[in-house]
Amino acid sequence: MSEPLVKRLEYLGIADMDYLSARILLLNGLTHTGLSKAAEAFEKLFKLFLIIEAKITENKELSQKELQQHKHKLVKLFKLVMSKLPDKKYHPSVKNYFHQLENAYGLRYPESWKKALLINSLEDLDKMYCYFRNNITFNFPKEERHRAKFFGTFILKAYNKNVVDYVKKLGGMSPKDALSKHNKHLSEFNIYLDKVPL
């Protein structure tokens, strides 16, 4: 397996797991940490978009340094990604959503606490994650698209029946339950839903 392939699948798998973590936190009313985790998921997705876009348009492999220059500036990353999409129009509320996520990520430490408005919008999370994940995986190299349709990529392969049973015994949700609970956009995801561990 080549290094770029591993990097792309790793970014996608970790973004999926951050998204799943954000869903679990938001479903349980832990808005502060849920939005921070959502910000991490989108940051990885947007950086993955830039990796793929650079490869498609310039046949260039982005370096870690080039990706790190964006830091955790989610709104800036969002605008950059949108500027490279054919349909560049979006409702101002979408930018506001990413501004809220960036703000929530900055509130992880009390030194930055001043005033915060944290809105638990699970539907916005699902809608945006579905949209960007679908766009990104559609643009994966043809030979990799099949593997990109496995939600969580290589990470969820570790969730065998014994692991899932143990999590459920502790009162937790299976990955499939965490992904599907109150998810109005689940059917729109371009994933193998039947492969997500029960």
CB under 8 Å to 3, separation ≥6 — which residues?
A: none
Domain ranges of the chain: 3-195
pTM of the full structure:
0.90
**What is the rounded distance in angstroms from the CA atom of residue 123 to the CA atom of residue 121?**
5
Q: Vertex 100, ends 96 and 101: CA angle to 5°?
A: 120
**Could you report the per-residue pLDDT of 133-173, keeping only the tens digit for each?**
999 999 888 888 999 999 999 888 889 999 999 999 999 99
**What is the rounded distance in angstroms from the CA atom of residue 166 to the CA atom of residue 186?**
25
Kindly state the helix (H) or strand (E) to which residue 56 belongs, with its residue range.
helix 31-58
Kindly state the helix (H) or strand (E) to which residue 169 belongs, with its residue range.
helix 161-169
The pLDDT score that the predictor gives to residue 1 is 39
Task: State the DSSP string of 91-137.
Answer: -HHHHHHHHHHHHHHHTTSGGG-S-------HHHHHHHHHHHHHHHH
**Tens of pLDDT, residue by residue, the chain (198 residues):** 345 555 788 889 999 999 999 999 999 999 889 999 999 999 999 999 998 888 888 888 877 787 777 777 899 999 999 888 877 677 778 888 898 898 888 777 777 667 666 777 899 999 999 999 999 999 888 888 999 999 999 888 889 999 999 999 999 999 999 999 999 999 999 999 999 998
The pLDDT score that the predictor gives to residue 117 is 64
